[in-house]
Structure 1
Amino acid sequence: MQAVVFTAPSAAIEFTEVELAAPGPGEVRVKIAAAGVCHSDLHVKRGEWDAPAPLVMGHEGSGIVTELGAGVTSLAVGDHVVLSWVPPCGDCRYCRSGHEARCQKVATIVAPKGVLFDGTSRLSRDGEPVHHYLGVSSFAEEVVVPASGAVKVRDDAPLDIIAVVGCAVATGVGAVLNTAAVEPGSTVAVIGCGGVGLNVVQGAKLAGAERIVAIDVLADKTQMALQFGATDRIDASQADAVEQLFDLIPDGVDYAFDAIEPPSTTEQAIRMLGLGGAAVIVGLPPTGAKASFEPLVLAEADQRILGSNLRLGAPLTSTSPRWSTGTWTASSSSTP
């Protein structure tokens, strides 16, 4: 089959033939219908994150199940699925305690080693192993993934649109509903209105936030954010975003989401907070990047800094009422 293969930051990615083995126990084969493009893939290509090579890139995707491995009963051939790059193992202490987004096997085996749960790859080229990217590798015609990483959706869900649910939507909406648990009536700032940021905006709207301030250096992005539920927008290219935020909301915001990567925007998110506010770090910077804040101010104002990786929870499941309303379809207008 054809796939996009990364070999080194200094080398061009290759669109080439690779072999895909049959699914093992607890795994499924999925024919890819669509794949989203995420900044995380760019971090790997630039050498900003360590990744095993060679590997098939891509971690957002949707498709149709074509083969079941031994013991899989949660899915059937023909099911339409969204792929998740945090497939819970169900066995580690985090999964057992209900914190599947922190799955220990994903964090220590699947993601860093470029393999599946059993420590091996289903991908190869000319007889040599090729690594999986985050257990997905959606830049390919077909994939083999853990069954827990293939989330069944309705058959009428448009596969080309829902591909980004596996990362951009789950990351953005999940940061609001699951990490921050934004309350109705809250004030929210969103720094960066790309695919993830727009879904933070959408999540804040779903949560019932009263004011949602979209912040970006590109006017067309903040304009689009209004369609997702933003009530205000700030052009960060014209003046200091923090000063503009306090002009709009003099007391600062209850929640500030940093949905892009520079440490400077993390620092801005912290400075935008009001009393008792929380800064939620959603965008992922290069390895080694550092941001600073004044601990005394944070402590005296009873503020928090929250990290948020992919926070699935109920919103990604096909039975959740949040997704049965069709609000997720707004994500089709952007990629992360």
Structure 2
Amino acid sequence: MKAAVLYSTVPAVPAPGSAPGKRRYADAKPLVVQELDQPQPRAGELGVAITYSSLCHSDLSVVDGSRVRPLPMALGHEAVGRVVSVGGGVADVSVGDHVVLVFVPSCGHCRACRSERPALCHRAAETNSSGDLLHGPALLRTPAGERINHHLGVSAFADYAVVARESVVVIDDDVPDTVAAMFGCAVLTGMGAVLNTAGVNPGQSVAVFGLGAVGLSAVMAGRLAGAAGVIAIDPNPGKHQLALDAGATAVGTPADAARLVEEAAGDGVDVAVEAVGSTGVIATCLELVTRGGAVVSVGLPHPSAELTVPALQFAGAGKRLLGSYMGDAVPGRDIPKYLGYWREGRLPVGLLHTDTRPLTEINEGLDALASGQVVRRLFRA
């Protein structure tokens, strides 16, 4: 099998003295596309032929070291494929099934799973952090026998993956792979932040900060929820038309945010979604929500980042700061539901797909994502 493996990180900021305009990732080539021994699924696992994988900022944050993971690791966590082998004890998935891969393989037994919050599964958090799979240790090996860790139980920058049964959702055969590829992370996370975490109701107002694939999915969700206004904010004007096409009623840069909120919602929006990974943006969102409003934090700040905000905004103004991991999704419920919206023409997920490239161009893709040139670039091995 082929997979893109990360052996060492490349800092997000170029080293002092490096050449101006240097293609940081294309030149450093942190991801090595190489041959690995192809493992077979154990009990509770599936072998999946990956059709398309999708590059996400969460992948980039592992490459630049801001999300610390055990290396070497085969990256990629958002993908679509076909089941080619089935391990023992799996009775509800068959060879040939069309599947979306999900990066939190909920165990079904822990405190979070029993509370119907599988995105926060305790067991999955442990195995995702260690590079193992839900049903056993890491399986990936180089021909020389070196262990390669799994990324979030998926390792989708590859032509094949062994995953836990709990890491897939079976979908209809006729869903195009270029659409389905983005449902396991971007759509689940952005849609879920609005529909599950915030529970936006018709007539409310929403502001979304950060117009990557997750933020644009949140914009689509605001429109689906019947929000009276959906304000989309990003410093890159090149993303503003995409946001309008996704359902935003107003767009602008961060400098425009306060004015747009005042024009649309007076004393503040009901819900603000932070999809940047910035504590400064979280603080701004808290300022721009109305009394009793909610800020949903979706982005992943650096682990060392700390948030300082006026504490009186909470008890004094009834504002809420809500964390949202994977959109508080129940994948087996939400992916079919969201695909239903897509079928009805109410969820224009195709807007997220910038282009498709061969897996050999994965490092160039990192540069394109880091510079904001692409929203979702798909890769085929």
TM-score range, shorter chain: over 0.9
Q: Does 1:312 align with 2:317?
A: no
Question: Pairwise mapping of residues 1-336 of structure 1 onto structure 2 (< 5 A)?
Answer: 1-10=1-10, 12-108=30-126, 110-125=127-142, 126-236=144-254, 239=255, 241-310=257-326, 311-313=328-330, 314-317=333-336, 321-334=340-353, 335=375
1:241 CA displacement: 2.6
2-structure distance, mates of 1:57, 1:163: 15
**What amino acid maps onto 2:131 in structure 1?**
G
Cα deviations by residue, 1:46-102 (Å, 9 ceiling, x for unpaired): 111110111100000000010001011121111111000011111222212311111
Q: For 1:186-241, what per-residue CA distance to the aligned partner results, in whole angstroms no more than 9, with x for missing partners?
A: 100000111000000011111111110011112221211111111111222xx353
Distance 1:332 1:154, change over 3 A: farther
Q: Aligned partners of 1:118 and 1:33: how far apart in 2?
A: 24
Residue identity (%): 40
Q: 1:319 to 1:226 in 2, by over 3 A?
A: closer
Q: Structure 1 runs of 4+ off > 4 angstroms?
A: 318-321
Alpha-carbon RMSD across the aligned residues, in angstroms, is 1.7
Tell me, yes or no, if the aligned pair for 1:154 and 1:318 is still in contact at 8 Å: no
Whole-Å Cα distance in 2 between the matches of residues 326 and 209 of structure 1? Answer: 18
Shift of 1:117: 1.5
Q: What SS does the corresponding residue of 2:181 show, helix, strand or coil? A: helix
Instruction: Return the alpha-carbon distance in structure 2 between the equivalents of residues 308 and 83 of structure 1.
Output: 19
What secondary structure sits across from 1:270 in the alignment?
helix
Q: Tell me, what secondary structure is at the counterpart of 1:156?
A: coil
Whole-Å separation in 2 of the counterparts to 1:82 and 1:251: 41
- After TM superposition, give the deviation of residue 25 of structure 1 in Å: 0.8
CA contact (8 A) 2:246 2:348 kept: no
Structure-2-length-normalised TM-score: 0.84
**What are the Cα deviations for residues 109-168 of structure 1, in whole angstroms up to 9, with x where unaligned?**
x21101102340121112121100000100011001111211111100011221111000
- 1:31 and 1:143 in contact (8 A); partners too: yes
Asked whether the 8 Å contact 1:242–1:268 carries over to 2, the reply is: no
Q: Contact between 1:169 and 1:328, CA under 8 Å: does it hold in 2? A: no
User: Aligned residue pairs: how many?
Assistant: 333
Scaled by the length of structure 1, the TM-score of the pair is 0.94
User: Which deviates more from structure 2 when the two are superposed, residues 239-248 or residues 265-274?
Assistant: 239-248
2-structure distance, mates of 1:225, 1:145: 34
User: Do the aligned partners of 1:197 and 1:259 also contact (CA within 8 Å) in 2?
Assistant: yes
CA spacing shift, 1:124–1:332, aligned 2, 3 Å:
farther
- Report the alpha carbon displacement of residue 329 of structure 1 after superposing the two structures with TM: 4.5
Distance 1:78 1:156, change over 3 A: same
Structure 2 CA distance for aligned equivalents of residues 148 and 328 of structure 1:
25
Q: Which amino acid aligns with 2:133?
A: L
Over residues 273-314 of structure 1, what are the superposed CA-to-partner deviations in whole Å (9 max), with x where a residue is unaligned? Answer: 101100000111111112221111222111100000103233
Deviation at 1:317, TM superposition (A): 2.9
Unaligned stretches of 5+ residues in structure 2: 11-27, 354-374, 377-381
Tell me by how many angstroms 1:318 deviates.
Answer: 6.2
SS at match of 1:128: coil
Distance 1:40 1:302, change over 3 A: same
Aligned-partner Cα distance in 2 for 1:92–1:25: 20
Distance change (3 Å), C-alpha of 1:252 and 1:318? closer
